[in-house]
Amino acid sequence: MNQDAPREEWASRSGFLLAAVGSAVGLGNMWRFSYLTAENGGAAFLVLYLGITLLVGLPVLLAEFVLGRGARRGPIGALAHYGGRGWASLGWLFVGTGFLILSYYSVISGWTLRYALTALVRGFPADAGAFFESVATGPASIAWHVGFMAISIAIVRGGVKRGIERTALVLMPLLFVLVVGLALYATTLDGARAGYRFYLEADLGALTDPKVLQAAAGQAFFSLSLGMGAMMTYASYLGQNEHLPNESLVVAIADFGVAFVAGLAVFPLIFALGLQADVGESTVGALFITLPKTFASMGGAGRLVGTLFFVALVVGALTSAISLLEVVVAAAVSGLGWSRHRAATLLGAVIAVLGIPSALSLDTLGFLDQLAGNVFLVFGGLMLALFVGWAMRDPMAEVRPGAEGVAWFGLWRWLLRIPVPIVLAVVLVQSLRALFE
């Protein structure tokens, strides 16, 4: 056991914040967000998604921060610390979810790496559909996935300060600049108006559709990295004086903001060539087929913009992947007494192998994404809300240090007790139904 070794800490508050925002902002904000928005009625989805982020996601995010900081351990240790052995098993589920999500997340990340290099080196071919097929499955897909895992492993091996924090400090500002720049560029496109209209005009009928609620909730959890202890693990490297309510608010707003601004780039690009009909075809269509088609038709500008777009995706994917890997690594370091080096290398290799089925079949990948995002994360969030809302002895005493003046902790706890579990239970039942339909 490594219990006695002093726990690593973030070097600075901004390092922690950027790392947490880095975990949240990723493929979810661009790939998942854009196809779900397209599929679920544009602005109606957006409104619901924002509402769920603030009323359901934010309270759970704060709960994860509180548990991690207070226990100074990863999810298994933190839940054992506050709830005993029974609750620790929820921590095991979290670690398992980390394995599962990273296994396919890294496959998609491998595609983005390849897309970025293709855009840079020779531009996208006109037949974007055939190009996607050649990239998405088969030995090439496995190779890029393994390459991406190797980069993630190298960063996590570097440790909290020198690996994760330093990466976030360099890459996250770059990502913000890229996404804002792309959105500004998109204002100059012919299709911009039609794109904005689709994105921002609400079809209010969709608000009452239970399918849209389910998609919005699953997306909020996936995008905020909630329900599997990633935020808990990052918070476990904090000192005791952080203002956790502020930190959670910053993370939630930054995460929504990047998704929103990315949409301001994606939808005009899709509508620039009138390609919107393609989008609904598959979950990967919008980003990996329609956009490259647009870039291919734009000549030199397309190469530059395409490169920047996919570089932004790679950056987002990487800062999220390392948080997924960190959950698993932290569990092995404190639970099994492994060195960080060994845990990152061995467990990263296991995840690389687990990802192979997703690199061979889009159906497998899609199924795992539904299972993890809409079922495991939502279930994890539900259990966390019940734990902090009802079972934990005095969460108010744990959240207060560093945030003494805050008046709404009662509201926070009430949200975790009643509304959050109700919403998540409804969503969970629906997700399970949809999965086995």
Q: How far is the CB of 8 from ligand PFF (least distance, A)?
A: 19
Q: Which is nearer to ligand PFF, 296 or 375 (CB)?
A: 375
Q: How far is the CB of 321 from ligand PFF (least distance, A)?
A: 8
Q: Which is nearer to ligand PFF, 196 or 376 (CB)?
A: 376
Cα angle: 135, vertex 138, 141; to 5 degrees: 50
Q: Which is nearer to ligand PFF, 61 or 192 (CB)?
A: 61
Among 148, 119, 115, CA closest to 134: 115
Compute the half-sphere exposure of residue 47: CA atoms within 13 Å on the CB side of its CA: 13
Q: How far is the CB of 101 from ligand PFF (least distance, A)?
A: 6
Specify the amino acid at residue 281. Answer: E
Q: Which is nearer to ligand PFF, 23 or 294 (CB)?
A: 23
Q: How far is the CB of 47 from ligand PFF (least distance, A)?
A: 19
Q: How far is the CB of 103 from ligand PFF (least distance, A)?
A: 12
Q: How far is the CB of 407 from ligand PFF (least distance, A)?
A: 30
Q: Which is nearer to ligand PFF, 28 or 68 (CB)?
A: 28
Q: Which residue is nearest to ligand PFF (CB)?
A: 28
Residues forming the site for ligand PFF (CB under 6 A): 23-24, 26-29, 101, 222-223, 225, 228, 230, 320, 323-324
Q: Which is nearer to ligand PFF, 24 or 296 (CB)?
A: 24
Q: Which is nearer to ligand PFF, 230 or 244 (CB)?
A: 230
Q: How far is the CB of 377 from ligand PFF (least distance, A)?
A: 7
